[in-house]
Amino acid sequence: MYNALVRKEVMGILEKEVGSFLDKFLTPIEKIWQPSDYLPDPSSSDFKYDLEEIQTFAQEMPYDLFVTLIGDCITEEALPSYESWLMSVEGIDQEKSGPTWASWIRSWTAEENRHGDLLGKYLYLCGRVNMRQMEITTQYLISDGFDIGTSMDPYRNFIYTSFQETATNVSHRRVGTLAKQTGNGKLAKMCGVIAADEARHAKAYKHFVAKILELDPSEMILAFEDMMRKKIVMPAHMMRQSGQKAGELWGHFSDAAQRCMVYTGQDYINIMKDLLDEWKIEHVTGLTEKAEKAQEYLIKLPSRLQKITDRISTPDLQFEFNWVKK
**For the chain, how long is the longest CA-to-CA vector?**
69
Which candidate in 15, 72, 76, 90 is catalytic? Answer: 76
Does 90 qualify as catalytic in the annotation?
no
Which candidate in 15, 112, 226, 255 is catalytic? Answer: 112
Distance (Å, whole) CA 67 – CA 216: 42
Q: Is 165 annotated as a binding residue?
A: yes
Q: Is 115 annotated as a binding residue?
A: yes
Does 201 qualify as catalytic in the annotation?
yes
Count the Cβ atoms, other than its own, within 10 Å of residue 246: 16
Cβ atoms of residues 226 and 66 within 8 Å = no
Does 207 qualify as catalytic in the annotation?
no
Distance (Å, whole) CA 144 – CA 238: 7
Which candidate in 64, 77, 90, 165 is catalytic? Answer: 165
Does 314 qualify as catalytic in the annotation?
no
Does 283 qualify as catalytic in the annotation?
no
Does 292 qualify as catalytic in the annotation?
no
Q: Is 77 annotated as a binding residue?
A: no
By three-state DSSP, how is residue 129 classified? Answer: strand
Q: Is 172 annotated as a binding residue?
A: no
Which candidate in 100, 168, 219, 237 is catalytic? Answer: 168
Distance (Å, whole) CA 274 – CA 314: 24
* Alpha-carbon dihedral angle through residues 147, 148, 150, 155, given to the nearest 10 degrees: -150
Does 33 qualify as catalytic in the annotation?
yes
Nearest 5°: the CA angle 172, 69, 230 is 65
Q: Is 296 annotated as a binding residue?
A: no
Cβ atoms of residues 71 and 257 within 8 Å = yes
Q: Is 289 annotated as a binding residue?
A: no
Does 320 qualify as catalytic in the annotation?
no
Which candidate in 197, 216, 226, 267 is catalytic? Answer: 197
Binding residues: 76, 112, 115, 165, 198, 201
Query: Which residues belong to the annotated binding site for Fe cation?
Result: 76, 112, 115, 165, 198, 201
Residues marked active site are found at 33, 76, 112, 115, 165, 168, 197-198, 201
